[in-house]
Every structure is written in structure tokens, then in C-alpha cells.
């Protein structure tokens, strides 16, 4: 293949593969550019009562807070495309992530365009949702500037608002936690109700675990080999409004047994609720996303891939590699960059990523991740020294504040002598010193 050079807005990109060059040439619009089509979806709900209950649950989540930040957000993100609608958001503390996946059979209407908006769920909307009956006709319109819900009794229009910065930070990391989860338990309706009847009362402290004894699920303060840890168990009360109508629930747990998620199945739709390790820890405060940002790729490549994808479309990197003649290694790096920018979500049931468009500039990610910013500064100031480098072992010295830290990266672990690593042992992402070393050797 011939090396080709392509200039994009004054930036010279030297592409080593035909596929990447074609990807850049295919780029038509930037991620932050606004879609000119005002309406994404217009149609009716086929199960308005269940949909309304799920929307009310989302509103309950985004109006809640379990940490030091008081409740202040009410703004679900709405994505339309690929015959699906998705509503998602975070609690104000960013410790609870919620998403409603509406399957094609949940709506009867027309998907006019692909796009994403972010709107308030104010009191008029909540009042309208609470009044919806099972057989009532409800019309939904999702547009670039607003979301409309029209019932036999009311018409509510919620206008677009600015996407909260904390949510952007949460979206860049929560899918990494979801992708690390495995299914642990499946509960039918009766088992679900029995489980929540044993939910501890009040604002309890300490760890609780979902466990199964003699065919019955319950909460316990004792961990067993197959139990699931729930940090901040009182947060599960956010699900109480939909327990009576749920068909079954699935409980997932991360490999490190710190985070978990509950998926509620309703047939035509699913509602996912994921919980950070503890009430005081929000997803936006976690640093796992930094692991995927150690290799800088030309942003034009990301823009090019963005131009090929639709909102809510399942993301299959293998097929994209084959169809667009891009080598698998480059596609892996592109996938990591899309994830770290919040442009990929993760579907637990499908065990696959999906794509979403978000209205923010990619440059904001650096400012939202101080460890990444500080790691780049260490490299720019030439404060990273590689002492030893082998195939399975890296040792480096990194300058700190009045001290030199020792970083070791091998096949089994990565360690640093700094206070951050000593305090968290990698549980809240890698420190800026390890990150700087990984960026240096990548």
C-alpha cells in the first residue's frame, strides 16, 4: 500500500494504510457539529404505561444524590436512531447510571434522522407521565431542540439544555465498567419482589450482598463465594416504582466485584441501572478511562469513523475493520478513543458496544481528566526516565514534588511509589506517573 498524506484544516496526517486514508476522506462533519434536521423521531408508544413508569424512574434517578453534591440535575440524554430510542442519565452525584433501551417494537412511528438531545424532565412532564393509563394513546416526538409528549390530557414540551459536565465525565467511564461485568443472577417477578422486601430500611452503612439460599434471593451482610456486593444498598430503592410491572431482572457484577448493575426486562424495553462501588464514589471520579487514552491518534481518524456510524447502532469493530480495510490494531485504538470520549455505550444483554452521538468538543476530555493532563505535562517537561525496558518488564523514574517516584509495569501488575497508588492500589484508575510511563512507551 502506498503511504498517502492528507491535509485536514491545516493539520498534516500521515496515514500508513489505505483504509485509514479512505476513512479520513469519508469524513463529512465533526462530532460537535449540529445535525440540520430538526426532528429525529415522531410516533406513538405501543406500551405507554410501562414506558411512562420507566421514564419516571429515570427522572427519579437524575433528581437524586447520594454523595456530597446536592440534587441539581434533571436532564435525560435522548438518542434516536437504528430503529431504537435510548434515554439515559446519572444521579447528581454520578454514582448511579440509568438507561432505558426501547426496542423497535416499543414504538410505532418514523425515524427521520439519527441524533441525540438533552432535555429537562420538569414537573409538568412528571405530572403527565404519572397520569398516563395503560390503554391511552401517547405520541412522542424527539427533536434536535426538544422532546414532546402528547397524551389525551396534556401536551408537554421539554427544551434542550446543556449537557452537564459531570455527565460527560461519567459517560467516558461507565461503559468500561459495564463491559467488565458478567451475569450473576436471573430473578423472576416473584423472586424480585421477595428480594426487595428484604431491602434494609433507612440509610444503612456498610457492605451488603445479594445472595441465594434455598432458591430464595435476599440481602445479607455476609459475603459468600457467589454473592454480589452492593455498595450503598439504599440506592436500590430507585427501582421500587417499576417492580410491580417487571417481567424479570438480571444482576451483573464486575470482575473486581466492586460495581454491579441491574437490568429490568419488560419485553419491549429494558431498563438498566448501574451502581458505583460506594455512595460517595461517582463514576465520573473513576480513572479507568485513562487506560484507554495512552496512545494519541490523529483526531481526523476518529472524525472519519464517526461519519460512518449511526446513533444506537451496534458497534462491531471486526466488521468495520474488514469493510473499511483497516488493520485490527488501528481499529482497537480507534475503539478505545471512541470509548474514552463517551461516544460508545455498552449493552449488557447483547454483550456489545453501541454508538451514540454527543454534542461536545473532543478537546474538553483533556480538561475533564486532570491526571491525563498532568501526565502529558510530565512527558513534555522530560520528567520520565525509562530505566529498564524488556518485553515483559518496564522500570522507570518519574519526578514528583521534591521526590522521584519508581514505576514498575510487568505482565501481572503496574505499581508506583506515589501517595495516590499507595492509597487506592489501582482501584480508582492509574496514577499520573504510571500513565506518563505508559504514554512514553506506547
List, for residues 214-246, the tens digit of each pLDDT value.
889 999 999 998 999 998 999 999 999 999 999
- 294-337 pLDDT tens trace: 555 666 676 677 677 778 888 888 888 888 788 887 787 777 66
The pLDDT assigned to 72 comes to: 63
Binning pLDDT at 50, 70 and 90, where does residue 5 land? very low
If you average pLDDT over residues 177-196, what whole number do you get? 94
Structure-derived torsion over alpha carbons of residues 242, 245, 250, 251, reported in degrees to the nearest 10:
30
Give me the helices (H) in 136-185, please: 165-179
Binning pLDDT at 50, 70 and 90, where does residue 359 land? low
> Among candidates 385, 400, 393, which has minimal Cα distance to 414?
393
From residue 310, alpha-carbon distances to 117, 126, 341, 344 in Å are: 14, 30, 16, 11
The pLDDT assigned to 387 comes to: 95
Are 197 and 243 a contacting pair, CB within 8 Å?
no
Residue 259: φ, ψ to 5°: -115, 155
Collapse the DSSP code of 324 into the 3-class scheme (helix H, G, I; strand E, B; otherwise coil) and give the result: coil
In whole angstroms, give the CA distance from residue 371 to residue 18: 35
To which residue does cell 439460599 refer? 213
Cell of 56: 419516571
The pLDDT assigned to 80 comes to: 92
The pLDDT assigned to 1 comes to: 32
The pLDDT assigned to 402 comes to: 87
Using a 10 angstrom Cβ sphere, with 0-12 exposed, 13-18 middle and 19 or more buried, the burial of residue 110 is exposed
The pLDDT assigned to 29 comes to: 41
Higher-pLDDT residue of 273, 256:
273
- 408-427 pLDDT tens trace: 999 888 899 998 888 877 66
Rounded to the nearest 10 degrees, the angle between the axes of helix 432-441 and helix 370-380 is 60
From residue 91, alpha-carbon distances to 43, 62, 170, 370 in Å are: 29, 4, 10, 22
The pLDDT assigned to 284 comes to: 62
- Residues constituting the chain: 442
Residue 190: φ, ψ to 5°: -65, -45
If you average pLDDT over residues 337-359, what whole number do you get? 81
**pLDDT tops 50 at residue 165:** yes
Binning pLDDT at 50, 70 and 90, where does residue 160 land? confident
In whole angstroms, give the CA distance from residue 273 to residue 252: 10
In whole angstroms, give the CA distance from residue 32 to residue 14: 24
Least reliable range by pLDDT among 29-43, 100-114, 203-217, 368-382: 29-43
Collapse the DSSP code of 392 into the 3-class scheme (helix H, G, I; strand E, B; otherwise coil) and give the result: coil
Cα 245–chain centre separation: 26
- 20-41 pLDDT tens trace: 666 655 544 433 344 455 789 9
Helix (H) and strand (E) counts for the chain? 12, 25
Which domains can be identified in the chain, with CATH numbers?
1-282 (3.70.10.10), 299-365 (1.10.10.10), 369-441 (no CATH)
Cell of 441: 512507551
Q: What is the pTM of this model?
A: 0.80
> Among candidates 40, 183, 38, which has minimal Cα distance to 111?
40
Higher-pLDDT residue of 41, 166:
41
The pLDDT assigned to 7 comes to: 31
The pLDDT assigned to 19 comes to: 62
- 44-84 pLDDT tens trace: 999 999 999 999 999 999 989 887 666 665 678 899 999 99
Collapse the DSSP code of 91 into the 3-class scheme (helix H, G, I; strand E, B; otherwise coil) and give the result: coil
Q: How far apart are the first and last CA of the chain?
A: 24
Q: Which bin fits 131, alpha (ψ -120 to 50), beta or left (φ > 0)?
A: alpha
Question: Mean pLDDT, the chain, as a whole number?
Answer: 82
Binning pLDDT at 50, 70 and 90, where does residue 289 land? low
Most confident of 66-75, 118-127, 180-189, 362-371: 180-189
> Percent of the chain at pLDDT above 70?
81
Least reliable range by pLDDT among 27-36, 72-81, 282-291, 381-390: 27-36
If you average pLDDT over residues 80-96, what whole number do you get? 91
The pLDDT assigned to 442 comes to: 73
Which residues lie below 8 Å from residue 328, measured CB to CB, with a gap of 6+?
317, 318, 321
Collapse the DSSP code of 320 into the 3-class scheme (helix H, G, I; strand E, B; otherwise coil) and give the result: helix
In whole angstroms, give the CA distance from residue 74 to residue 128: 16
From residue 401, alpha-carbon distances to 110, 404, 437 in Å are: 59, 8, 17
The pLDDT assigned to 264 comes to: 98
Amino acid at each position: 500500500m502506498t503511504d498517502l498524506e492528507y491535509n485536514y484544516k491545516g493539520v498534516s496526517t500521515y496515514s500508513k494504510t489505505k483504509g485509514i486514508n479512505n476513512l479520513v476522506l469519508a469524513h463529512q462533519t465533526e462530532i460537535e457539529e449540529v445535525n440540520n434536521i430538526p426532528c429525529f423521531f415522531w410516533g406513538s408508544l405501543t406500551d405507554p404505561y410501562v414506558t411512562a413508569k420507566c421514564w419516571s424512574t429515570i427522572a427519579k434517578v437524575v433528581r437524586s444524590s447520594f454523595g456530597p453534591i446536592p440534587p441539581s440535575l434533571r436532564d435525560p440524554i435522548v438518542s434516536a436512531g437504528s430503529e431504537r430510542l435510548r434515554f439515559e442519565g446519572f444521579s447528581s452525584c454520578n454514582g448511579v447510571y440509568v438507561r432505558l433501551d426501547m426496542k423497535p417494537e416499543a414504538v410505532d412511528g418514523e425515524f427521520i434522522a439519527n441524533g441525540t438531545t438533552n432535555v429537562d424532565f420538569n414537573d409538568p412532564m412528571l405530572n403527565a407521565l404519572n397520569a398516563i393509563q395503560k390503554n391511552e394513546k401517547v405520541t412522542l416526538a424527539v427533536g434536535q431542540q426538544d422532546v414532546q409528549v402528547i397524551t389525551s390530557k396534556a401536551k408537554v414540551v421539554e427544551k434542550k439544555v446543556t449537557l452537564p459536565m459531570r455527565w460527560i465525565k461519567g459517560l467516558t467511564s461507565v461503559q468500561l465498567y459495564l463491559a467488565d461485568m458478567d451475569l450473576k443472577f436471573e430473578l423472576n417477578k416473584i423472586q424480585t419482589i421477595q428480594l426487595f422486601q428484604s431491602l434494609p430500611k433507612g440509610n444503612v452503612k456498610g457492605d451488603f450482598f445479594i445472595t441465594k439460599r434455598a432458591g430464595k434471593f435476599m440481602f445479607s451482610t455476609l459475603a459468600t463465594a457467589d454473592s454480589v456486593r452492593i455498595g450503598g444498598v439504599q440506592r436500590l430503592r430507585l427501582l421500587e416504582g417499576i417492580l410491580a410491572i417487571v417481567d424479570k431482572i438480571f444482576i451483573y457484577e464486575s470482575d473486581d466485584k466492586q460495581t454491579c448493575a441491574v437490568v429490568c426486562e419488560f419485553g419491549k424495553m429494558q431498563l438498566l441501572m448501574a451502581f458505583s462501588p460506594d455512595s460517595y464514589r461517582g463514576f465520573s471520579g473513576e480513572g479507568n478511562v485513562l487506560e484507554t487514552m495512552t496512545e494519541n491518534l490523529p483526531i481526523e481518524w476518529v472524525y472519519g469513523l464517526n461519519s460512518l456510524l449511526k446513533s444506537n447502532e451496534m458497534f462491531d469493530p471486526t466488521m468495520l475493520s474488514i469493510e473499511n480495510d483497516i488493520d485490527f490494531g488501528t481499529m482497537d485504538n480507534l475503539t478505545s478513543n471512541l470509548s474514552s470520549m463517551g461516544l460508545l455505550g455498552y449493552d449488557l444483554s447483547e454483550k456489545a458496544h453501541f454508538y451514540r452521538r454527543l454534542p461536545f468538543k473532543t478537546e474538553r476530555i483533556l480538561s475533564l481528566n486532570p491526571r491525563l493532563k498532568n501526565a502529558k505535562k510530565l512527558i513534555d517537561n522530560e520528567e520520565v526516565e525509562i530505566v529498564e525496558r524488556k518485553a515483559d518488564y518496564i522500570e522507570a523514574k518519574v519526578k514528583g514534588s521534591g521526590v522521584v517516584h519508581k514505576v514498575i509495569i510487568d505482565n501481572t501488575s503496574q505499581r508506583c511509589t506515589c501517595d495516590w497508588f499507595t492509597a487506592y492500589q489501582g482501584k480508582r484508575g492509574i496514577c499520573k506517573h504510571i500513565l506518563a510511563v505508559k504514554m512514553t512507551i506506547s
